[in-house]
Every structure is written in C-alpha cells, then in structure tokens.
Structure 1
Amino acid sequence: MIYLLNFSKQIKFFIFILVLLFAFPLMAEPIGSVSTRFKFLGANDKIVVEAFDDPDIAGATCYLSRAKTGGIKGTVGVAEDTADAAIACRQVGPIELPEDVRNGKQDGEEVFKKSTSLLFKTLQVVRFYDPKRNVLIYLTYSDRIIEGSPKNSISTIPIMPWR
C-alpha cells in the first residue's frame, strides 16, 4: 500500500515536471495571427506573431512569426508545426552588454525555445555577439532529436547609443 502511495506521488511529480517543461518555453507574448488554411474541424492553420525580450539583455526585443498547425490535432495539441519561422529583432531601449555576453560562446547562447510538437521538436532562437562590429545576431531554427531542418532566419541589432 505504501509503495502505491509513493508511486502516485511520483506520477504527480512527473506530470508537474512535464507541465513546467512545456510552460516555460511559452514566455513569448502573443501579438497576433492570420489564418492561412481553413479547417472544417478544429482551428485553422495560422501564422502567429509573438514577441519576447532577450532574457540577458535589457533593451533587445525579438519578434517571431511561425506556422501553427490547426485542425483537430492542432486544437488538442498533438499536431507537429512546420519548421517555417522568421525573426526580426530591434533595440527598444538602452543596451549594456553583460560581461558574459561580450565574452560569449562561438556556438551562441539559447535565448528562446518553444515546443512545436507534442514530443521532440522545438523552435529555438540563439544569440551571437560580433565584437568587431558591436552587433547582436539572433538565429531562429527548428530541430528534432534525430533530424533538424535547414530552414532558418536571422536578425541583427547594431548596438547604438540610446537617447
């Protein structure tokens, strides 16, 4: 009996962790959407526009547009969205680069991640810093555990004095 009680707690803990994993990537602010294909059952296929602020750099905001699959599968959250996405990033306030960004990784640093299927597929945004030109570069792409997509988009923010 005690083992069953512990097993129940383990299941609840596992579900809690799954909810956290899927909730945190959803920190983008929805801006709007347009329908691209009518579906008789469930939501239409859409292009959604979302905004997120760089978590490490105040004054840097990125706007993502991405495909969102509708239909019954999309409505219940089991559809796999395509790898199509675009990004535009802008300086929206004064930018002061933290030291760890100035000395950042060559491979970039993940600043945004969103699940685009029930399992294994994500849309990511990675930030790079080009010290020679004093520019932030944001790259968006989609990946899977086994096979990613070469579809990608980049945007840059030249760091300028803010008035």
Structure 2
Amino acid sequence: MHASKLLIIAALLFGSGMAHAQKIGSVDTVFKFIGPDHKIVVEAYDDPKVKGVTCYVSRAKTGGIKGGLGLAEDKAEASISCHQVGPISFDKPLKQQEEVFNQSLSILFKKLRIVRMVDVQRNALIYLTYSDKLIEGSPQNSVTAVPVDRQISIPIK
C-alpha cells in the first residue's frame, strides 16, 4: 500500500507543471544494448503570453533501461535559442521576470526551467534556461534574446 501511494504522489509531481513541447527531432549519442539510446532532443516551445515567439531547446535525454522506464535523471545541460516566427503581439502585460515553461528531468524533483525577462531599455525579450533540484540545482545555463520592433511597446505589469 505504501509503495502505491508513493507512485501516485510521484505521478502527480511528475505530471504537474509539465511544459507543452513539440518534439522537433533527436540524434543518438550513445548506443545502448538494452533500452533506448542516449540522445539529444530538440523541442519547440511557443511562448504562451507572447504570440510570434518560439523557443527551441536542445537537451540530453538518458536512455538505457532506466531511461526507457522513465526512472533516469537527465543531465542538466541544455541550450536555448528563441526567435520571432510571426508578428509579435501581447494579449496582456508581462511580468518583468516570469517562468514560462518547466519540464521534469527526473521522476522526482529535477526540472528544466525557462524564464522570460523583459529588457525594457533595449525593447527585447530575454529567455534563460537552467535546471534545478529540490536540494541542489546546476549553474549551467543558456540565454537568448528576441529583439522586439521599437514600434511595438512591450507591456509590463
């Protein structure tokens, strides 16, 4: 009974707050005899509050038996590149700094996060990706900027 409760709690934690990403592709980096290969995956995330901006994130995905079962902890390294893919518009004012996506990297407590910051002086949107853990995060990070046309004012809360 105790193990089933832990699995339910883990499933709730694992499933809550998941970012909705579109898988673009992947490449294998290490062959595994049993289970899926280790790989690098590329995913696209559309900013939910900024129409016309998409972020592309590449990250390591652990394979093998644990990876195939969803029990492996993926590495903290990730790279991000965000771009204007259509006309930029805002439905509501943005916070100066706000987490816009997160995705679990392990069954418990490790997440890949993407934070949007607004650079008002330069009229740009800055996106930072990093990973954290309940106890200890990683200083590894990646940053990208999307300049917004000066004719479009970025609304701030």
The TM-score range, normalised by the shorter chain, is: 0.7 to 0.9
Instruction: Say which structure is richer in helix.
Output: 1
Q: Deviations over 1:86-107 (max 9, x none)?
A: 0000011111245531xx23xx
User: What's 2:78 paired with?
Assistant: 85
Which shifted more, 41-50 or 91-100? 91-100
Alignment gaps of 5+ in structure 2: 153-157
1:25 Cα deviation from its structure 2 partner: 1.1
User: What's 1:28 paired with?
Assistant: 21
Q: Give the Cα–Cα distance (whole angstroms) in 2 for the partners of residues 87 and 23 of structure 1.
A: 23
Alignment gaps of 5+ in structure 1: 1-10
SS at match of 2:106: coil
Q: Which has the higher Rg, Structure 1 or Structure 2?
A: 1
Residue 146 (structure 1) aligned to one of 114, 120, 135: 135
1:12-161 matched pairs, under 5 angstroms:
15=8, 18-19=11-12, 22=15, 25-98=18-91, 100-101=93-94, 104-105=95-96, 108-160=97-149
* TM-score in terms of structure 2 length: 0.85
User: What's 1:8 paired with?
Assistant: none
What is the alpha-carbon root mean square deviation over aligned residues?
Answer: 2.2
Instruction: Say which structure is richer in strand.
Output: 2
1:19 Cα deviation from its structure 2 partner: 4.9
Give the % identical residues. 54
